[in-house]
A and B are shown apart, each in its own frame.
Chain A
Amino acid sequence: MDIQEYKGIFVFVQQVDNKIASVSFELLGKAKELAKDMETEVTAVLLGYNVSGLCNDLARYGADKIIMVDNKALEVYATEPYTHSMCKIIEKYKPAVVLYGATAIGRDLAPRISARVKTGLTADCTKLEIADDGTKNLRMTRPAFGGNIMATILCPEHRPQMATVRPGVMQKIKPIEGATAPVDKFDIEIGPDHQNVEVLEVIKKVSNKMDIQDAKILVSGGRGMGCPENFKLLQDLADALGGTVSSSRACVDAGWVEKDIQVGQTGKTVRPNLYIACGISGAIQHLAGMEESDVIIAINKDESAPIFEVADYGIVGDVTKILPIFTEEVKKAMAARNNA
């Protein structure tokens, strides 16, 4: 392989129901920075059905070029037709870098592609930069061993260099109004050979029954919530953040909530990116189940509550007063982020 032949940064654009995932815009933003250091261009790769309407948005968020595959077989995400299409694109356009969001789709797709094109893939990166040693290799940094060490990984001899990137880590650019980008329509034949799996139905469920162990964001309530009705406040914040509600044992014992959302020694051990402990004192049996969370925010009216010893951020005050304000601010911030 002549790695010199491979040029440009490609971003796989994730769309579901013709709506582009936020992480794809974040990746375009990051790709733009990288492109500057590599002296190259950013190409958005858009797969789907009837998706041409999305092209302008991609341009506004930093795509210099767009490769679009519009095909009925790509209407709903499925591993095989998407992998096949991406491989064809890589074969034809020879990108130096391909980035994917580390979403359920990105994590499914990227390893398939890397195995087929025989190149390296770094999963779940939190930092990307271009080596300044003349090679212009992509330095991909990701947390390893459960976040205990940061590993910086290179793919020096194979192309494209591929990475999935954690949603929320990279910054979108401020949209360039009126920007356009040339769209290269690429027809790919997707035959029965590429569709061994048929999607019968996609069920969209409001994920309030999500297993708390899978949740990235947990909004957790303790006895300090005062009554089961106040769990609504937690749900509101969880909805605003796209998180899930969990609880201490005290609330399970009191019959406020089901046992399956109890965090702790005799409940579930969780390790979300964000754990918000509301009205939880921080008994050792509770801490045992959540202290490995990446970021812990505690809200408690008692400033000497042990939960503050493990919290990264703490608010001393009445949780029933703080939560509604918190939720409002989160909603505002989220809205700003989505419109940015």
Chain B
Amino acid sequence: MDFVLSKEHEMARTLYREFAENEIKPLAQELDEQERFPTETVEKLRKYGFLGIPFPKEYGGQGCDTLSYAMCIEEVAKVCGTTSVVISGHTSLGAAPILKYGTPEQIQKYFVPLAKGEKLGAFALTEPNAGTDASMQQTKAVLEGDHYVLNGSKIFITNAGYADTYVIIAMTDKSKGTKGISAFIVEKDFPGFSVGKKEKKMGIRGSSTCELIFENCIVPKENLLGKEGKGFNLAMNTLDGGRIGIAAQALGLAEGAFEETVKYVKERKQFGKPIAKFQNTQFQLADMATKIKAAQLLVYRAAMAKDTQKVYSEEAAMAKLFAAEVAMEVTTKAVQLHGGYGYTREYPVERMMRDAKITEIYEGTSEVQRMVISSHELR
């Protein structure tokens, strides 16, 4: 067992950090205030290959491993939660399932442009009546000759409106329950497909989260992703991978808030000395740092497990559960240690606290992670 990162990983991290500091951090507050999608940043992400990190080079990716990808999300999330979720929504949710389940034609047509970052991806499972209980899919896909006709809607879809390629989960045979669910690749211009209203959110406000609407949407038969009836497995498997990305996001938010806090408590003086000199401050920081390191180990372990093991759902669930709760706790304490200033939007910690909350909810709530973990432990 070796807890030292390889040279490649160290180098990759330095690159991600510099990019995040120089290109992403300056925009973070503005994106949040204006609830604006970072179009210009996405362009840069594409240019520097940030949208295809864990994908093979022969398909236009960067040929790195999941750990590098997690570190990228971590570094970006340290300075901007919004941008980190644009990357992970695209990579783990939008692109990864096409590589894993796609036919060679689908990979060429849809995956390669995603891995290269020429196109942006999204993934749509959630519906008004199917959130945690994803099996309650109401969107229908009916085969008519050479195409499927999709009807229904999805809610809370990350990157909606900005993505070019969507992986859509829909019911092909309701009588079969979860075995009647299938996945489809839908292009943004398919007839009958439209994007609804953008949600107004507490955090990650620059990321786009919208409803998707299918009204007799025509999807060519060859855009069925994987086999008919295998969509539920595909979705669950995709989420396992996605959870590593969200865990890394949570980790980054906690680290970012922690770094800001360390800086602040050294500067801010009360009672004639920096607040860092008060033992309460020190102990709070000690707890925060320890929890962050514990979360980091879980996140990295899950990333390694994905690269080396067949099954990694439990590792991914543990990493997401723990990192998200650490992010919530650490960002809350960070605001506290900033005092009244922490509550203002002049300082980034309140934004990080708002951004942290979503990591306990999306890609499966913390409760879902506990279900996954306990089901493995009780097996």
Contacts and interface: CB of A to CB of B under 8 A. Distances in A.
Interface in A253-308: 253-254, 281-286, 302, 304-306
Given A302-B151, A306-B129, A281 B197 contact: no
Interface of A: 223, 250, 253-254, 281-286, 302, 304-306
Interface residues of B, number: 14
Given A281-B128, A282-B129, A302-B151, 5 more contacts: A223-B215, A250-B196, A281-B138, A283-B127, A283-B128
A250 B152 CA distance: 12
B213 interface: yes
B211 interface: yes
List the 4 closest pairs (A to B, CB-CB), nearest first.
A283-B128, A253-B197, A284-B129, A253-B196
Given A253-B197, A253-B211, A304 B174 contact: yes
A284 B196 CA distance: 18
Interface string B125-169: 001110000000010100000000001110000000000000000
A302 B215 CA distance: 12
Contacts of A304: 138, 140, 174
Given A223-B213, A281-B153, A285-B128, A306 B138 contact: yes
B213 to A, nearest CB: 7
Contacts of A305: 138
Nearest to B196: A253
Contacts of B213: 223, 250
Contact of B128 (A253, A254, A284, A302): A284
A40 B267 CA distance: 94
B126 to A, nearest CB: 12
A283 to B, nearest CB: 3
Interface string B17-52: 000000000000000000000000000000000000
Nearest to B210: A253
A252 to B, nearest CB: 9
A304 B127 CA distance: 15
Decide if the interface of chain B is mainly helix, strand, loop or mixed.
strand
21 contacts: A223-B153, A223-B213, A250-B153, A250-B196, A250-B211, A250-B213, A253-B196, A253-B197, A254-B196, A281-B128, A281-B152, A281-B153, A283-B129, A284-B128, A285-B128, A286-B128, A302-B140, A302-B151, A304-B138, A304-B140, A305-B138
Contacts of B153: 223, 250, 281
Contacts of A223: 153, 213, 215
Interface of B: 127-129, 138, 140, 151-153, 174, 196-197, 211, 213, 215
A281 B140 CA distance: 12
Contacts of A302: 140, 151
A223 B197 CA distance: 13
Nearest to A250: B196
A196 B215 CA distance: 61
Nearest to A253: B197
Nearest to A224: B215
Contacts of B197: 253
A247 to B, nearest CB: 14
Contacts of A284: 128-129
Contacts of A286: 128
Contacts of B215: 223
Nearest to A226: B215
Most buried by B among A254, A281, A306: A281
A153 to B, nearest CB: 41
Nearest to A283: B128
A39 B213 CA distance: 65
A74 B138 CA distance: 59
Nearest to B171: A304
Contacts of B211: 250, 253
A283 B140 CA distance: 15
A228 to B, nearest CB: 15
A278 to B, nearest CB: 16
Nearest to A223: B213
A254 B194 CA distance: 11
Nearest to B152: A281
A306 B133 CA distance: 15
Contacts of A281: 128, 138, 152-153
A283 B211 CA distance: 13
A253 B151 CA distance: 18
A337 B46 CA distance: 70
B146 to A, nearest CB: 23
Contacts of B174: 304
A222 to B, nearest CB: 11
Nearest to B213: A223
A320 to B, nearest CB: 14
Nearest to B139: A281
Nearest to B151: A302
B132 to A, nearest CB: 12
Nearest to B215: A223
A285 B213 CA distance: 16
A17 to B, nearest CB: 46
Nearest to B198: A253
B149 to A, nearest CB: 12
A304 B152 CA distance: 11
A24 B196 CA distance: 49
